[in-house]
Amino acid sequence: MRGLVQTIAVICLILTCVSPAVAQRDVTIRLAHVDGAEWQKSKKGAAAEIFKNIVENETNITVQLFPAKALGDEDDLVQQAQEGTAQMVIVSAALSKLCKPAYVLDIPYTFSSAPIAWDVLDGPFGDALAETCLERTGLRTLAFGETGFRNFTNSKRPVKTPEDLKGLKIRVQPIPLYIEMVKALGAEPTPIAWSELPNALTTGVVDGQENPVGTIYNNNLHKLQDYMILDGHNYAVDFILINDEFYQYLSESDRAVVSKAARVAGIMSRAIQQFNTAESLSLVIEEGMEVHVPSAEELAQFRDLARPAVIAWLQEELGEDAIWIEKLEQALAAEQANTD
């Protein structure tokens, strides 16, 4: 009898030890992105580090980081997240290829400031977009980080109005919406992969390009380009994504920590990107780049050419999903009403 009691006691001890919390010691999140690992210069890198710190401090989950394209470019990463070989990824443009409604965020001259974009993304519009993309891709958007406002640079002449852009060969990301936008502004869009850009600028294959200021400085593009206009034509978003099957497999308390950590990471990404933008702007000017801040009238000329053309193109492209253009406009109107 004594032996039986002892055996039961041992079994109870083992069962207690193999509680869900202990079993989860084996859980690993592989988190990949294409930015550098140096968090001070990299919004995705900063977001990933913050996420890892919080999750590893508050749970038994291990977070392995794969920065700097270690697992491939953004399209590869989204695919790996869908397959579950990477549990989490931070990507910007790649998501809209699989979830077309996300495309509407790229409509040019939509957000007049970053805080407006944050409010729209963190409000009902962002929630609805995340829900739709989850249904279509199996990827849950845990939070929205920031790649930032994109601006035109070139090596030929100062650009103050669309007239000045006319005829310039501008490198764009290989994304049709960007081609339409640059065409509408009167320039010649040339889709080129990011890795080929420095060479294309050096050899004169293109005269210019468009990217956020931090990206321009951190990749030395300002050394290849003399002029920049801060037209902020697109507010590029970083989507912090998790494979939803994996997310559902986590315990409730781990899910709560993972969600919270991603929200903090998103905020951190925005903060780092704001800091990078301000610092990089003063550095590109210090290092000789001529930067033009457009007046409201000049900006209106860009907006009036690019927006209608891109919206018309997107309406065709999105078909039934064109409703998302309207949803975004409604969200912006609500945001405007709140701030009035």
Residues that bind ligand MLT (CB under 6 A): 34, 173, 194, 211, 215
Ranked by CB distance to ligand MLT, the top (closest) residue is 194
Shortest Cβ 332–ligand MLT spacing (Å)? 24
Q: Are 35 and 47 in contact (CB under 8 A)?
A: no
Shortest Cβ 272–ligand MLT spacing (Å)? 13
Shortest Cβ 173–ligand MLT spacing (Å)? 4
Q: Which is nearer to ligand MLT, 67 or 325 (CB)?
A: 67
Q: Which is nearer to ligand MLT, 208 or 258 (CB)?
A: 208
| DSSP for 16-71, written as a single string | HHT-HHHHGGG-EEEEE-SS-S-GGG-HHHHHHHHHHHHHHHHSS-EEEEE-TTTT
Shortest Cβ 36–ligand MLT spacing (Å)? 10
d(CA 162, CA 196): 26
Neighbours of 85 (CB within 10 A): 12
Shortest Cβ 271–ligand MLT spacing (Å)? 18
Q: Which is nearer to ligand MLT, 194 or 249 (CB)?
A: 194
Q: Which is nearer to ligand MLT, 59 or 173 (CB)?
A: 173
Measured at the CA of 10, the angle between CA 9 and CA 14, to 5 degrees, comes to: 120
Measured at the CA of 248, the angle between CA 70 and CA 47, to 5 degrees, comes to: 40
| Terminal Cα-to-Cα distance of the chain (whole angstroms) | 79
Q: Which is nearer to ligand MLT, 215 or 269 (CB)?
A: 215
